[in-house]
Chains A and B, each alone.
Chain A
Amino acid sequence: MSNLEDLYREVILDHYRTPRNKGELPPPATCTEGTNPLCGDEIKIFLDIRDGVVHDVRFSGHGCSISQASASMMTATVKGKSLDHVRAVAKRFKQMMTIEENDGSTPADVKLGDIEALQGVVKYPVRIKCAVLGWNTLLQGLETTEG
């Protein structure tokens, strides 16, 4: 099961079992929905943005361990961060997931931290969509917020 241990690392299972920032935020926080039509995973990201900073964030919905853990880690990463930083981390994450090319535009000091644990997902192409669902929904939410 060595491959599986690479996929289901302890930090991922931890976020899956005890998700951070799970829940909803009332308006004026925005709510953005994302779905993965292949597996039926659905997610909602609630964003409260003030002065160019993610003041608060929550996620709700259901999905596999990878999508739930990734969304949980995402909220923990972006909370309290500037939108520029959030976009840079999102970009770096997508580069790690091999769905965006590394064009050298992301500053090297943008670190993924715990999110690095999702590296193992790349070996399972079908699951990449699960891992990026929360991030893509977040990016959509940022666009809505900024009109």
Chain B
Amino acid sequence: MTLDVAAIRREFPMVGKQIDGKQVHYLDSANSSHKPNCVIDAMSTFMREGYAPIGRSSYTLAANASAAYEDVRTKVAKFINARSPREVVFTKNATESLNLIVQSWGRVNLGRGDAIVLTHMEHHANIVPWQMLAAEKGFEIRWLPLTSDFQLDLATLDQLLKGAKALAFTSMSNVLGTINPTRELCTAAHRAGAIAIVDGCQSVPHMTTDVQQWDADMLAFSSHKMCGPTGLGVLWAREELLEAMPPFLGGGGMISDVRLDHFTCAELPNKFEAGTPPIVEVIGLGAAVDFLNGVGMNEVRRHEIEVMNYAYRALIDRYGDDITLHGPTNPELRGATFSFAFRGVHPHDVSQVLDERNVYVRAGHHCAKPLMRIIGANATARASFYLYSDESDVDALVEALNDVSSIF
């Protein structure tokens, strides 16, 4: 392993933990990641020593808290290579970020006769908000299909994009692990006069993100999948788009003035941050970004490719045709998220048996039911790895699957 994984694992209190005398193997990081000590400590220290409301009161402690909060905005902007922190909005979670896009940008820009393009590998969070608005506004939702090797079928993209106003897609599938050609997709969208909206939930925690290199217009991602706390999501969008968009939620913090008959909005990004934000969580995310930068996102990616190669070999060597991986086999084209079918055993039974050995995988439809129907699975078991995963986690998975064989 290129990374000093042992040192990284020591930073995560939940990693390598024992429950009922057996070591836990957490293979559900695509769902939510564990938190390193620095994140836990930053939040705890802030609440013990630096806590104050932000953006409103002028006493020193509040000013310091505001500065700490805004520092994180700058860190996050740098982490994704945004042009300015003004383009970074903190939300409740990535789902809220996507709903903000739909309800603010979509409500103004989409009506009868308009169209948007989604892909068959989207998470429900990048489907349902659009369907909700489409039911109201009557615009068309078109779908970019998959190829037989679990990639997006780019052959039909230009045709689908004709007259469309937006292409909204995931940069990495939470089921298949497929990493999509984000830059190429953004370019295609722009060629057709559409904006490019990226759901970065699965890719941002695992590899370098560069919204300028992608030439993307909007990006949504969550804190809790990238070593940060829950309760916090991020929306990034190009400044001119955010300027033109109406506010999403109304309330304190997002206004510059309120009269009895009207209000005026605050400047960016406050316009989109109504109410007291998740201050403590933002401080935690700042520590998570520092932690990931310290390791290096290219190193994280390289490590996950190694774990993937090891897992792929170990699973196929041991189980051959008894295991079916739903997703690309080339590690360069995928992230370390493996959906699999095992000997026809229902994924819930697989995860139940694995749980007995403290091997934690997710079973179900992974909030991507349209995709599940397309790949012909009602559910899959999914093992997902992160920077703190190592060979022992893979070995435990391989060993525990043997118990599934014995029972079913």
Residues in B whose Cβ lies below 8 Å from that of A124: 352
Indicate whether A7 reaches chain B with its CB closer than 8 angstroms. Answer: yes
Indicate whether B59 reaches chain A with its CB closer than 8 angstroms. Answer: no
Indicate whether A111 reaches chain B with its CB closer than 8 angstroms. Answer: no
Q: Is the CB of B403 within 8 A of A1?
A: yes
Residues in A whose Cβ lies below 8 Å from that of B164: none
Residues in A whose Cβ lies below 8 Å from that of B347: 39, 64
- Determine the distance from Cα of A132 to Cα of B184 in the docked complex, in whole angstroms: 48
Tell me the minimal C-beta distance from B352 to chain A in angstroms: 7
Q: Which chain A residues (92-130) contact chain B, with CB distance < 8 Å?
A: 124, 127, 130
Indicate whether A50 reaches chain B with its CB closer than 8 angstroms. Answer: no
Known: A3-B356, A40-B365. A65 touches B403 (CB 8 A): no
Indicate whether B181 reaches chain A with its CB closer than 8 angstroms. Answer: no
Indicate whether B372 reaches chain A with its CB closer than 8 angstroms. Answer: yes
Contact with B along A124-140 (1 / 0, CB 8 A): 10010010000000000
Tell me the minimal C-beta distance from B81 to chain A in angstroms: 38
Q: Which chain B residues (361-402) contact chain A, with CB distance < 8 Å?
A: 363-365, 369, 372, 378-379
- Determine the distance from Cα of A70 to Cα of B364 in the docked complex, in whole angstroms: 19
Indicate whether B158 reaches chain A with its CB closer than 8 angstroms. Answer: no
Q: Is the CB of A127 within 8 A of B403?
A: no
Residues in A whose Cβ lies below 8 Å from that of B379: 39-41
Tell me the minimal C-beta distance from A17 to chain B in angstroms: 9
Q: Is the CB of B352 within 8 A of A40?
A: no
- Looking across the interface, which residue of chain A has its beta carbon closest to that of B363? A39
Q: Which chain B residues (3-40) contact chain A, with CB distance < 8 Å?
A: none
Residues in B whose Cβ lies below 8 Å from that of A3: 356
- Looking across the interface, which residue of chain B has its beta carbon closest to that of A2? B356
Indicate whether B302 reaches chain A with its CB closer than 8 angstroms. Answer: no
Contact with B along A17-58 (1 / 0, CB 8 A): 000000000000000000000111110000000000000000
- Determine the distance from Cα of A124 to Cα of B346 in the docked complex, in whole angstroms: 16
Residues in B whose Cβ lies below 8 Å from that of A80: none
Main secondary structure of the interface of B (DSSP, over half): helix
CB contacts between A and B, total, < 8 Å: 50
Q: Is the CB of B369 within 8 A of A4?
A: no
Q: Is the CB of A127 within 8 A of B352?
A: yes
> How many residues on B have C-beta within 8 angstroms of the other chain's C-beta atoms?
18
Most A C-beta atoms less than 10 A away, residue of B349, B363, B403: B349
Known: A4-B407, A8-B407, A40-B372. A65 touches B349 (CB 8 A): yes
- Determine the distance from Cα of A15 to Cα of B345 in the docked complex, in whole angstroms: 14
Indicate whether B348 reaches chain A with its CB closer than 8 angstroms. Answer: yes
Residues in B whose Cβ lies below 8 Å from that of A65: 345-346, 349, 408
Q: Is the CB of B378 within 8 A of A40?
A: yes
- Looking across the interface, which residue of chain B has its beta carbon closest to that of A40? B365
Tell me the minimal C-beta distance from A35 to chain B in angstroms: 10
- Looking across the interface, which residue of chain A has its beta carbon closest to that of B350? A64
Residues in B whose Cβ lies below 8 Å from that of A7: 352
Residues in A whose Cβ lies below 8 Å from that of B345: 65
Known: A7-B352, A40-B364, A40-B372. A64 touches B407 (CB 8 A): no
- Which A-B residue pairs are the 8 nearest by beta carbons? A64-B348, A64-B346, A40-B365, A40-B379, A40-B378, A65-B349, A39-B364, A64-B349
Which residues of A does B touch, CB under 8 Å? 1, 3-4, 7-8, 13, 38-42, 62-66, 68, 124, 127, 130
Given contacts A64-B346, A64-B347, 17 further A-B contacts (CB under 8 A): A1-B356, A4-B353, A4-B407, A7-B352, A39-B347, A39-B348, A39-B363, A39-B365, A40-B365, A40-B369, A40-B372, A41-B379, A62-B378, A63-B378, A64-B348, A66-B349, A127-B352
A-B pairs with beta carbons under 8 Å apart, 20 shown: A1-B356, A1-B407, A3-B356, A4-B353, A4-B356, A4-B403, A8-B407, A13-B407, A13-B408, A38-B364, A39-B364, A39-B379, A41-B379, A62-B346, A63-B346, A64-B348, A65-B408, A66-B348, A66-B349, A127-B348
